[in-house]
Every structure is written in C-alpha cells, then in structure tokens.
Chains A and B, each alone.
Chain A
C-alpha cells in the first residue's frame, strides 16, 4: 500500500534543515533563475527571442530544492518550462540564452529553441515540447539505471496538466512493476495553460495518483525551498534504496503567462499579486537569511554577482552569430552529423 500523503507546509519558525551555506547557495540559485527569466522576457519584448517561451518565474524553489537533494550523475528531465532546470543542473547561462535567441552558441545550435535543450555533461535530458512525453522517457532512463545497477536516480518533472496524459499512468505501472529508481515530480502550478486544475481533474491530491500501483506519494510546499528539499530527500532516499518509484506533488505557482502571449483571463490579478506578496520563494528565503544574521551587504553581493552573470549571458546571446544555413541539414541522421 502507498504510505499516507504527507504535507510539509511552510513553517517560518522551524529550524533550518540545511546548512546556512547550502541555504545561501539555494538563494543564489533561485535568484539566478529569476533574473535569467526576467531577462529572457525582456529580450523577447525586444524581438531577440521569438516563438514560444515559457518562463519559470514563481516556481524557482521547486527545481532548486529538488536538485539540492540529488548527487552528481543523477539525471534530470522535464517539460518545456525548462530554463530553470537547466540552470539548476549547472548548464551555462550563456548557452541557454543563446539557444533562446536561436544562435550558433546555443546548446542545440539554435535549432531546438526554448523548449529543446540538452546537456550530456550535466545529465540533463531535456527540454520536451510535447506535454507528458518526458514522463515515459524519464521512466526509461530510470530503467537504464536499474539495469546497470549504477545507484543513479532520475528526477522526472512534469506539470499537473501533463499528469492526465495516458502515458503517465502507463509509466507509473511499469516503474512500480520493475521498481525503477525514478522520482516523479508533479509541479502543480494550478493552471495547464488556461485551464485550472479543478477543471481538468476530479483528483484533489495528485500525490495519490500512483496509489493504485503502490507508489508512495507526498506533497510539498513548492514556494519554500527548504520544504522542497526535505521532501526531496525522503523521495530520493526511497529510490536510492531500491524501493522503486516515488511521487512528489509540489504545490507551486507561476506568476507569468503560460507562454509569452497569454490573455490570463482564467485567473484574477489579485490572485497573482497575493501569491507574489505572501508566498514568494525568493523573498521568503531572503527574509530568513536576514533573520539568521546574514548581512544585507552579503546579500547585495549575491544580487550583484547574479546580475553580472545574467547580463553577460544576454550580451553573449545577442552577439552570438546565427547558425550557418547549412546547419539546417545537419544531425537529421548520424550520417548528417555536424562537422
């Protein structure tokens, strides 16, 4: 049987369950993602980025908390709202931004765009534009881990909208059957494009979605990086111990539209403002750091450092040349491999 769903709510008075150094790094990483996404939004507005561009603003604590609980060599795979996952995986902001601008120095040489980037070196398996597709892929990656007995686990991220895809349930069954080391992370930001979660499913707690197969499920407050990390550690330990898959529903919120053109008629402005004002993961972490005695000047130093990295990435991505037109025909098959 699945263990009871466990809710880890934000508790401001609770002792910090990570070292101050780790917490400061988490703050840095969340801020890096926030500033990167804000810059991407600006570049989009200036016409330097085109097409679809799904910003992660608001959800930073999810990926930073989750990735702080895994080890080098563990894999990460996600959907199209993927910039944060790439930065948290340690991918170069210059390469990510250059992919957004469709330039030669992008991770996919400009041919993938915002939704399709990969890094073998950082064990990041994409960036996938088809809703839910990556859930089955993550299951397959976990199978490779199991087959090789390599002690690695695969973090497989998807949204609450993707959670309704048939292949997600097919994957749950397979992963449970073979006890595959995969943590399924549902980033529940409440809206699959313009459809709220209650208009798309009668399930109240998506953490229970694997219960039929005996997959343990838990929930975490995705606006609190410490809460995410704590929940992630339990999930990761479960998988690492060979007990099979684990399902974590992380409750979060996206501040921006689904993509760049979104009339946002499906929620009120007040709702967004309230989340920003009362639950923002970065403001929350900042307040906690100050309360723990970290000096304003130290935080300012982090802010400045992040700003510098992002400006550098933006400048680089603007100057990087367009891909050579001949690149259109490379990497369709092995025979067409880029020189």
Chain B
C-alpha cells in the first residue's frame, strides 16, 4: 500500500473524486496553476484542466458564494480557503446561505460544498495564520465540521465530505501536514512515513462522518480530542503515566456521542483537549454533553486543556500552545479526585 503524508492523502482524495465524478471542481486562491500554498492541489490543473482546477481572485466571500451557486445547480465544488484565518469574509454566505438553504427550501435545494482550510498553529504563523475556528462553525446548524488527525483519515473523510449532500467545513491542522507533531517542538520532526496511518489506499474509500476513533484504549480516564491534539494527548498520557482512553473525534458535527458515552461510562473520568481558545470552545459543548449523558458515572469534575483566551501570539507560541506538559497536568488533575 502506498505511504502518504497528509498533503498527499488530501491530494489523492481530490484526484480520486475528480476522476470519478465530473461534477467535482476544485478552486481557490493559488490553487490551480501554483498547486496551493501547502501543495495540496498540486498537479490537479495539469491533469483535469483549467475548467476543473482553477485559481480565483483573493475574495473569499465571492469564492464561497460562487461555490454555493455551483452546488445548488448540480456541481460538487471543493473550495480551498488558504488559511482558516481568511474564512471570516465568507462567513455571511456560509451561515446565511450554505447552512440554511436546505431548511428554507424545504429540502428542494442544498449546498453540497466542501470547504477545505488549513487551521491551527505551531508554525509561528502569528494571529492571522494560526487560528482554530471550529467552534464558530459547530455553532451554526446546517454545517458539518470535520478535522482529521492523520493521512488515512484525511483522505477517507475528505471523500465522504465531497460525497456528502450538505456543506462541510473541512479543517486541516497544518502543523501535521508533514508529520504527526506531538507538541515537542524542540525535538526532531517525525515524518508520517513512520506512522501506521500513512498507509493510504490509492483508490476510493471512505471514513464515515460522525464516527470517532479510539487511538489508545485505556481504563482510567477518557480523553476527547481531535486534530493535532490527538498526537499531543498521546504524548501527554505517556508522560503522566495514566492509562487513558484517547478518542479522536474526527468529526465534531455530526458527533459520535455513543462512543463518547460508552467510554466515559467505562472510565468515569473525562479530559477534553483542544488547541482553540477555551471560552465557548467546542470543549464547552463536549463537557455539557458528557455531563448530560454521564453524570452518574463521573467520579471527578471534567477538565479542559485548551489554548488560552488570548489571540495567538507571534512570540510565546509555545506558552500558548497546549503541549504535552499541560495535557499531563490535566490528566493528573482529573485523576486526583
């Protein structure tokens, strides 16, 4: 089986879908000729032509709005917003049109678009190239939100997203494009090729939206996390010496509540880890759900380890980033009671 990093896996997903379905078109800023700022769309224009893989002006609102129009009339647009931090000009069309079209047309029309966008920090991007805005989108009913943590899932989830009839926000943690970063920024970079999830089938397969993955079975505490933080949580659990069960949520909406409830019901403890800021972050929703579903199984208060409630700083990046040390402290705290 071929080995791929996340960039190659995402590229392969688009390639497979463009070959299978002529309604799939791929576009965005620097996406066509240049092949994408992170190279995710490299070669697609050459292979499928300028009608199907093309550049757009720098105008996110217009890009998204045009995609919705295309989707309404039968195409399956896969849009790249170059950084998740650039998505805000397009928020109006995402919230007011893409997310609500099905409801307000009683199902007659939908916006089957996939919006790919690199998110998260760890590359010294500063405040306009590092954000994790997933909770903004999970708050909007009518959108699905996906965040993969490895190449195999990235490809399978992206194919599912493209095949899905509703709008999907597909956030790609840019720090793990080329390797499974565990938060130890001072250690050598580990490439994906040494990770089992870099074995990616060349052809079509899917990973269903709404299914969490257990990346580490354990008995003492359940860790709910996604994206880059999956790898950080694994390192944190090892450093804390805690037998943690780590769930990679993979998709936030739809959420695999059954797997979460089964795990917390078993362990009786829950730690939530995300890179995004804390207040009204997706962790708050997870904590509420765990409380609603698992109150009588809980043996300790739920703990959240997140980014601080500050903009992402240029300096002090590793003070902001919730690394393995903070995760380990969180695990010890949730185990203390």
Are the chains A and B members of one assembly?
yes
Q: How far apart are the CA atoms of A161 and B56 in the complex, in Å?
A: 10
Q: Which of A116, A194, A266 contacts B127 (CB 8 A)?
A: A116
Residues of A within 8 Å of B289, CB to CB, are: none
Distance to closest chain A CB from B162 (angstroms): 24
Residues of A within 8 Å of B58, CB to CB, are: 131-132, 161-162, 164-165, 192, 200
Q: How far apart are the CA atoms of A167 and B311 in the complex, in Å?
A: 24
> Cβ of A11 < 8 Å from any Cβ of B?
no
Number of interface residues of A (CB under 8 A): 43
Q: Which of A52, A111, A199 contacts B313 (CB 8 A)?
A: A111
Chain A residues 158-195 with CB under 8 Å of chain B are: 161-162, 164-167, 192-195
> Cβ of B129 < 8 Å from any Cβ of A?
yes
Residues of B within 8 Å of A167, CB to CB, are: 89
Q: Which of B34, B61, B129 contacts A266 (CB 8 A)?
A: B34
| Main SS class of interface, A | loop
Residues of B within 8 Å of A329, CB to CB, are: 308, 310
Q: Which residues of B contact A (CB under 8 A)?
A: 29-30, 32-34, 37, 55-59, 61-62, 85-86, 88-89, 123-129, 308-311, 313-316, 319-320
The answer to whether B29 and A130 have CB atoms under 8 Å apart is: no
Distance to closest chain B CB from A317 (angstroms): 12
The answer to whether A51 and B33 have CB atoms under 8 Å apart is: no
The answer to whether A325 and B316 have CB atoms under 8 Å apart is: yes
The answer to whether A166 and B61 have CB atoms under 8 Å apart is: yes
Q: Which of B59, B128, B313 contacts A115 (CB 8 A)?
A: B128
> Cβ of A41 < 8 Å from any Cβ of B?
no
A258 nearest CB neighbor, chain B only? B37
The answer to whether B57 and A200 have CB atoms under 8 Å apart is: yes
| Main SS class of interface, B | loop
Q: How far apart are the CA atoms of A133 and B266 in the complex, in Å?
A: 50
The answer to whether B315 and A102 have CB atoms under 8 Å apart is: yes
Distance to closest chain A CB from B55 (angstroms): 5
The answer to whether B86 and A131 have CB atoms under 8 Å apart is: yes
> Cβ of A50 < 8 Å from any Cβ of B?
yes
14 A-B pairs (CB sep. < 8 Å): A113-B315, A115-B126, A116-B127, A130-B128, A131-B86, A165-B59, A193-B30, A194-B34, A200-B57, A266-B34, A322-B315, A328-B310, A329-B308, A329-B310
Q: How far apart are the CA atoms of A263 and B314 in the complex, in Å?
A: 24
Distance to closest chain A CB from B28 (angstroms): 10
B62 nearest CB neighbor, chain A only? A166
Residues of B within 8 Å of A52, CB to CB, are: 124-126, 129
The answer to whether A195 and B34 have CB atoms under 8 Å apart is: yes
